[in-house]
Structure 1
C-alpha cells in the first residue's frame, strides 16, 4: 500500500508541475518562418500569446541553446546577449555581454514558458527582446533579425 501511495504521489506531482504539459495551450493554424526559411514546429496560443519552439527558432537565427536540467533553465545565446526561460514562469531574463551598453534586463510576458513533448515553448515576443522582428502576415508567423542597410551616405530601408 505504501508503494502505491508513493507512486500515486509521484505521478500527481509530475502531472501538476508547471510547464510539463500543454495545459490550456491551443495549437494554431499559423505556419512558422525563421529568417526566411519555413521552420518545423507547432505554434500554440496561450493567454493571447503565440508560443513558438525555443530551439527551432533560436537555431534558425544562429543562436546556441542550452538546457540546465538542475536549475530547469533554457538559454538562447547570441553574440551580444542571452535570454533565459524557466518552465512555468512568465519572467524571462536577458543578460547582456557588452561592456559599453547594459543590455541586462528582466521581461514579463503574459504567458509562461511551457514544455510540450520534450520541447520548450516561449512567447514569440521572447525573440523581440533578442533584437528580432516578429510579424504575422497571411497565416505565417515570421521571426527574423532586425537589419539595417547602408546605401551610400544614408542609413536606411
Structure 2
C-alpha cells in the first residue's frame, strides 16, 4: 500500500511539472502568433523558430554557410550563434544560456529569451504562453556602462569616459537572471524625454 501511494505521488509530481511546460509552447510576437510550433527542451527552456520570430520583430537574419552560423541584427546590435553550440556572441563577447540552438526538420530553434536578453524587447509569460514585444524605437536611446551601485530604486553606471550616469530603475524591465551585480556591464535603454528613467536594463556577457 505504501508503495502504491509513493507511485501515485510521483505521478502527480510528474504531471504537475508537465503542465507549465506545455503552456509555454505558444508565443505571440508583436501581436502576431508564431505559426511554427515551439517546444520546451528537457531542461525547461522554451525554444522558438529563429527566422520567423526575428522576422516578426523586424530583425534581419543571415545564415553563413561556411561557419554554419546565423546572425540576427536589429540594425544596431548583432547576435551570432550556431546549431549545437551553447555560445551566443554579441559585441565580441560570448555567453552561455544553458541551451544550444537546435535544427529540427530544417528549422533553426533558439531560446526565446535571447530577444529580451540582447535587444530592447520585453518577454512576458501567462497561462496562454509567451509574448515578445519590442520597445518603440521613437525617442529610444541607450548607453552601456559598468554598475557602480544598484540601490533599490537607482542604478549608477560608470561610462567608458569615466563619467557617472544615474538612472531610476523602479519601472524598468530587467533582463538579468542573476540580478544587477556590482562591476557587471549593462546596457540601459531610456527615452529622450526622460533621460533619468530606465525603461529596460540588459546585462552584457563578461569578458
TM-score (norm 1): 0.68
| 2: CA distance, partners of 1:85 / 1:130 | 15
Alpha carbons 1:92, 1:108 under 8 Å: kept: yes
Root mean square deviation of aligned Cα: 2.5
| 2: CA distance, partners of 1:70 / 1:42 | 28
Counterpart of 2:110 in structure 1 is: 122
**Number of residues of Structure 1 aligned to a counterpart in Structure 2:** 123
**Deviations for 1:96-138, whole angstroms, at most 9, x for unmatched residues?**
xxxxxxxx43221111100011111000111121231112112
Q: Shift of the alpha carbon at 1:156?
A: 8.5
Are positions 1:105 and 2:93 aligned together? yes
**Deviations for 1:24-69, whole angstroms, at most 9, x for unmatched residues?**
xxx8453110112212121111212111010011000001111112
Structure 1 window deviating more from structure 2 (70-79 vs 137-146): it is 137-146
Return structure 1 stretches of 4+ with deviation > 4 angstroms. 147-150, 152-157
Counterpart of 1:63 in structure 2 is: 59
| 2: CA distance, partners of 1:88 / 1:153 | 42
Which structure is larger by alpha-carbon Rg, 1 or 2? 2
Higher relative contact order, structure no. (Cα contacts within 8 Å, ≥ 6 residues apart): 1
TM-score (norm 2): 0.53
Counterpart of 1:34 in structure 2 is: 29
- Structure 1: gaps (5+ residues): 1-26, 96-103
| 2: CA distance, partners of 1:156 / 1:108 | 26
User: Equivalent of 1:45, from 37, 40, 48?
Assistant: 40
Are positions 1:83 and 2:79 aligned together? yes
Counterpart of 2:131 in structure 1 is: 142
